[in-house]
């Protein structure tokens, strides 16, 4: 071995690669990844701690979301200067939508109309599981269990869909929901006897067939049935109230 004065001895940096790995999580309104990056090229007793990787954004997406290394601490006795560090992104991350449970609340009320159709307001719908700060609502098509009057009637909302700025980050556990929140009140109907009804005196107590006209309040396909009577069923000629 011959030592040559004036010639420098150079120690070059070793390559160190930190790579983001595939991860899947349920939407939580955060970009944090639940997996840790991998490290290759680390030598001797040197260490890499504090490894963190994150999604490029917080929104739900399947198999195509980018994961990047966002933090690490390299300890090599030289302030990390013994390595040339490169980080590698991964484009196979997945954030699945968070599942919500829809419900009905309040009161849904109408006057009897011969149908089971129920009109639900925005306030009649509830969603369980929405993360604070997100905007998401649901709506559907409402129906009573029967067309008949009553209280505490079962109302069902079918065909539920989500809307709002953050709707794509959520999914519904079921497309319908029911609750006993329905009220159908009786509908008033006016019955008007037809004017000008007459009969010829026949010597007996009159029992004429009287005619009448129900107003348009009757539901489609329904009719009023009854026998109208004179207020004073007198047998003599004269004018009587119906």
Give CA angle at 219 (213, 224), nearest 5°.
40
* Count of alpha carbons within 13 angstroms of residue 62, beta-carbon side: 4
Is residue 156 within a helix (H) or strand (E), and if so which, with residue range? strand 150-163
Question: Tens digits of per-residue pLDDT, 103-112?
Answer: 999 999 999 9
Tell me the CA end-to-end span of the chain in Å, nearest whole number: 136
pLDDT of 195 > 80? The answer is no
Please state the pTM of the whole predicted model. 0.80
Question: Of 63 and 218, which is predicted with more confidence?
Answer: 63
Q: 101 by DSSP, 3-state: which?
A: strand
CA distances from residue 225 to 54, 211, 219 in whole angstroms, order as listed: 74, 11, 14
**Rounded to an integer, what distance in angstroms lies between the CA atom of residue 146 and that of residue 96?**
39
């Amino acid at each position: 071995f011959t030592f040559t004065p004036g010639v420098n001895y150079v120690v070059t940096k070793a390559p160190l690669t930190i790579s983001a790995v595939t991860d899947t999580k349920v939407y939580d309104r955060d970009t944090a990844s639940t997996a840790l990056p991998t490290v290759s090229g680390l030598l001797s007793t040197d260490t890499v701690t504090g490894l963190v990787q994150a999604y490029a954004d917080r929104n739900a997406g399947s198999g195509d979301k980018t994961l990047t290394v966002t933090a690490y601490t390299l300890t090599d006795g030289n302030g990390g200067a013994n390595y040339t560090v490169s980080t590698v992104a991964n484009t196979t991350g997945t954030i699945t939508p968070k599942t919500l449970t829809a419900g009905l609340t309040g009161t849904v009320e109408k006057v009897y109309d011969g149908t089971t159709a129920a009109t639900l307001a925005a306030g009649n719908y509830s969603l369980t599981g929405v993360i604070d700060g997100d905007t998401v609502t649901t709506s559907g098509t409402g129906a009573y269990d029967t067309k008949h009057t009553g209280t505490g009637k079962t109302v069902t909302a079918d065909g539920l869909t989500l809307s709002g700025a953050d709707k794509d980050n959520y999914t519904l556990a079921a497309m319908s929901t029911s609750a006993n929140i329905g009220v159908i009140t009786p509908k008033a109907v006016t019955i008007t006897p037809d004017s000008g009804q007459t009969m010829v005196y026949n010597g007996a107590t009159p029992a004429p067939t009287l005619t009448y006209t129900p107003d348009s309040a009757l539901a489609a396909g329904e009719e009023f049935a009854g026998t109208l009577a004179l207020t004073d069923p007198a047998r003599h000629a004269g004018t009587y109230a119906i």
